Amino acid sequence: MKLYHLSGFICLCLAIILFATLNADANAPARDYYQLKIYHYKTQDQETRLEQYLRHAYVPAIHRARIKYVGVFKPVTQQDSDRKIYVFTPFSTLNKLAGIEQQLQADANYLADGKDYVDAEYKNAPYTRIETIILQAFPGMPSTAVPNLTAAKEDRVYELRSYESATEKYNSNKVRMFNTGDEIGLFKRLGFNAVFYSEVISGSHMPNLMYMTTFNSKADRDKHWDTFGSDSQWKMLTAKEEYKNNVSHADIIFLHPTEYSDF
């Protein structure tokens, strides 16, 4: 084959690959964006006011904004010096996430129902600070799922995990392990009832990813993880050299859903 013919053939192949890649991206399902707000507070009065706001103002307003599910959770074990409430809100686009505050401020019912929170005086705030994390769903699970649990809400255990990596490259590797390596599929096969898997695009512990799985009880959770650790697919996955050293630190937070949580 002459050189110019070979060059033309290579260009044609590259064009076909590029077209196929762009077409595959266009056909891939859109991935949701998530907002995880962590309210830090100290007193019982603050907790009561926060819950009144979330239950009667925020969650109903989010539903009116055509977001079907909102998650509100409390740690199984609270620290008296730094108590927390976790609020998980999914959005179909980043624009919707960015515009939600403006939408809330235009909602008369929200402003009325949440007046104690919205108009709180500087010396009587309902929290000490808010921590906000922005995430994007993994390709392997592009939107949330409501867990299929049978236990009463107060008995359920939700496990929120954050995996930090030493560098952005290692973090991308761990994300790939979940998607291409099908760690998500392993969790699904073993019945972990995941709410979401996501990469953090803005947060205080980056580079990291976060995901949430759910169980009927702590004993149910422990049984699932015992099965996971001995599974042949997991052993094969962790034995691969390409996935070595991609997690430098892990935080595990056990949560209970509130009575008014949609998840």
Query: What pLDDT, on a 0 to 100 scale, did the predictor assign at position 28?
Result: 76
3-state secondary structure the chain: CCHHHHHHHHHHHHHHHHHHHHHHHHHCCCCCEEEEEEEEECCHHHHHHHHHHHHHHHHHHHHHCCCCCCEEEEECCCECCEEEEEEEEEECCHHHHHHHHHHHHCCHHHHHHCHHHHCCCHHHCCCCEEEEEEEEECCCCCCCCCCCCCCCHHHCEEEEEEEECCCHHHHHHHHHHHHCCCHHHHHHHCCCCCCEEEEEEECCCCCEEEEEEEECCHHHHHHHHHHHHCCHHHHHHHHCHHHCCCCCEEEEEEEEECCCCCC
Residue position matching structure tokens 């939107």: 143
Mean pLDDT of the chain: 92
Instruction: Write down the domain spans for the chain.
Output: 1-29, 33-257
Reported as a single tens digit per residue, the pLDDT across 183-206 is 999 999 999 999 999 999 999 999
Tell me what pLDDT residue 10 has.
41
> Looking at residues 249-263, what average pLDDT do you find?
97
Q: What whole-number percentage of the chain has pLDDT above 90?
A: 88
pLDDT value at position 25?
54
For the stretch 104-117, pLDDT in tens is 999 999 999 999 99
Query: Quick one: fold of 33-257?
Result: Alpha-Beta Plaits (3.30.70)
pLDDT (tens digit, 9 = 90+) per residue, 14-67?
A: 444 344 444 445 577 899 999 999 999 999 999 999 999 999 999 999 999 999
Model pLDDT, residue 16: 41
Tell me the pLDDT band of 4, cut-offs 50, 70 and 90: very low
pTM (two decimals): 0.88
The pLDDT confidence band at residue 210, using thresholds 50, 70 and 90, is very high
Which is more confidently placed, 11 or 69? 69
| pLDDT number for residue 146 | 96
Per-residue pLDDT, 22: 43
